[in-house]
Amino acid sequence: MDTSRWDNVVVLDHPLIQHKLTILREVGTGAKEFRELVKELTLLMAYEATRDFQLAETTVTTPITEATARVLAGKKVAVIPILRAGLGMVDGILELVPAAKVGHIGLYRDPETLKPVEYYCKLPEDIGERDVMIVDPMLATGGSASAAVQFLRDKGARMIRLLCIIAAPEGIDAVRECCEDVRIYCCAVDSHLNDHGYIVPGLGDAGDRLFGTR
């Protein structure tokens, strides 16, 4: 898939990511391994998605001498999983950014209309001061992600990134149309959506595979 037409998309093609993604897609991968892989993939994605975090100078005393060194410049982060499948991605980010706060947005996709329906929202009070990372394994029509971005904007969020494991071209276009400044990090851009709005080849229903509900 040529992704050069989307300048807001970063496809993470690191060999470890691609290897883990292949196992994740495999129909025979059970819920336990699926959960572990989602966490590992998210940690690797977070490493890339935080690449532009600012640093500040400090001094450090090593056993040998005092030296100038660099630390994160007090960046405040909020991780916002879209329920329920986004929950599987939270721990991977917290492992790298343990001070991040976690908010939740509950959306499900109506199977008939494919439109997102909101059923829950709880965000950090200072969301407007934080770098926001929305996490959801699947970007299909883009309805859920676009709704989440708009919702967060209404609550004052400014700097928003979207981390999804697999994206469909339709979803990328939809997010780009409503939220041009949101950078999307993904491990793959797949071919298309099927008649039920599932990503092809994709990995099936991410929530069901994570939680073993089907």
199 binds, among ligand PRP, ligand URA, none (CB under 5 to 8 A by kind): ligand URA
- Least distance CB 138 / ligand URA (angstroms): 4
Nearest one of 27, 23, 56, 57 to 40, comparing CA atoms: 23
Asked whether position 21 contacts ligand URA by CB under 6 A, the answer is: no
Which residues would be at the binding site for ligand PRP (CB under 6 A)?
A: 82-85, 108-109, 114, 116, 136-145, 171, 197, 205-207
**DSSP, residue by residue, 146-186:** HHHHHHHHHTT--SEEEE-SEE-HHHHHHHHHH-TT-EEEE
Judged by CB, which is closer to ligand URA: 47, or 198?
198
Nearest one of 182, 185, 165, 186 to 174, comparing CA atoms: 182
Please list the active-site residues.
109, 113, 205, 208
Q: What x-and-dash track marks residues 118-157 binding ligand URA by CB under 6 A?
A: --------------------x-x-----------------
Judged by CB, which is closer to ligand URA: 103, or 116?
116
What's the residue count for the chain?
214
Q: Which residue is nearest to ligand PRP (CB)?
A: 207
Q: Where are the alpha helices (DSSP H) in the chain?
A: 15-25, 31-49, 90-96, 143-154, 169-178, 206-211
Region of residue 33 (left: phi > 0; alpha: psi -120 to 50; beta: else): alpha
Binding residues for ligand URA, rule CB under 6 A, total 10
Judged by CB, which is closer to ligand URA: 45, or 140?
140
- Least distance CB 49 / ligand URA (angstroms): 21
187 burial level (CB within 10 Å; 0-12, 13-18, 19+): buried
Judged by CB, which is closer to ligand URA: 45, or 199?
199
Residue 107 token pair = 């959306």
- Least distance CB 114 / ligand URA (angstroms): 9
Q: In this structure, are strands 116-122 and 131-135 parallel, antiparallel, or unpaired? A: unpaired
Asked whether position 188 contacts ligand URA by CB under 6 A, the answer is: no
The type of residue at 115 is: K
Span near ligand URA by CB under 6 A; candidates 74-82, 94-102, 118-126, 204-212: 204-212
Residues that bind ligand URA (CB under 6 A): 85, 138, 140, 197-199, 202, 205-207
